[in-house]
Amino acid sequence: MKNTLFALALASMLCLATTSCRKSTPVTFTGEQDHLIMSVLWFQRSAEMRALFIQGFNIASERLAVAAEVPGNGRPKAVVTDLDETILDNSPFEAWQIHTGGSFSDENWKMWTDMAAAKPLPGALEFTRYAESLGIEVFYVSNRSHDDAFGPTLENMRKFGFPYADSAHLLLKTNTSSKVERRVGILSTHDIVLLIGDNLADVDPAFEKRDDYFGMHGVDSLRQEFGRKYIVMPNPMYGSWVTPALTRGDGLSRRDQHVRSITGINTGQER
């Protein structure tokens, strides 16, 4: 009950601070979210995180400058970027889960996206504006739900002045989480010169599945693309990497699943 009241109070506070809290939404709670604490702390408070994002967008800008000079085939050039934890910072929603025990659910996520309050990640705004200055279009391919989040997401992006924040360039999820189809759609009219994301499937279909040693063999076989055509941003909070990384065990707590899945030295003192 205390958690619920706290969550609702936080939600109303955030609503007051934004212009777009459309309605109060039910929240669901599943208990502790302590596994998120260190990753959210790192994401919000480490200068290393800031440096890594700026580094990623600096490299992306250099690659774009090179791509702009390459003679095209007559079709416009484009950048494809993910939104969440690539362009927009949703770590306040992760922190909300820790503070309240609220779980990730469609309803809770909608509560957050309706606020249109996600701030740009370091370097994101500068990079997308630089692309625009080169005449290279930016397509935002995101797995936010088109039905639930299209309006608030556009509002969020326009609030911070992102270029190409329009229905032609914001491609949210309709029927499939795979982004391959949406990229094929873009390729029918544009040359994609750069792909950016915090999730490897944002940049290459090889990572639609991670059966092959957590996807690491895929990274090795595509090593020439990283820092060239593919730019990957750090996200320790969540992603497609989590589920394949966890050793399954019936009845195990989330903590125990995490602990069983990491490799250490054997001293005989393990808990």
Q: Which is nearer to Mg ion, 84 or 94 (CB)?
A: 84
d(CA 127, CA 124): 5
Nearer to Mg ion, 15 or 60 (CB): 60
Q: Which two tokens stand for residue 238?
A: 């969540």
6/241 with CB nearer Mg ion: 241
Question: Contact at 8 Å (CB) between 148 and 113?
Answer: yes
| Residue 16 Cβ vs Mg ion, minimum distance, rounded to whole Å | 28
Degrees to nearest 5, angle at CA 31 with 43 and 41: 15
Q: Point out which residues pair with 80 in neighbouring strands.
A: 139, 195
Closest among 228, 189, 221 to 205, alpha carbons compared: 221
Tell me which of 94, 198, 210, 219 binds Mg ion, using CB under 5 A: 198
In whole angstroms, how close is the CB of 9 to Mg ion at the nearest point? 29
**C-alpha span between 8 and 11 (Å, rounded):** 5
| CA–CA separation, 232 and 68 (whole Å) | 21
- For residues 34-93, which are near Mg ion according to CB under 5 A? 82, 84-85
Stretch that binds Mg ion, among 22-30, 94-102, 172-180, 197-205 (CB under 5 A): 197-205
Query: Tokens at residue 232, please?
Result: 């990957």
Q: Given the complex with Mg ion, which of 89 and 198 has the nearer CB atom?
A: 198
The nearest distance, CB 147 to Mg ion, in angstroms, is: 19
CB of residue 82 to Mg ion, shortest distance in Å: 4
In 3D, which of 159, 152, 190, 180 has the Cα closest to residue 25?
Answer: 152
Residue 83 CB, nearest approach to Mg ion (Å): 7
For Mg ion, the closer CB: 82 or 94:
82
The contact set with Mg ion (CB under 5 A) reads: 82, 84-85, 198
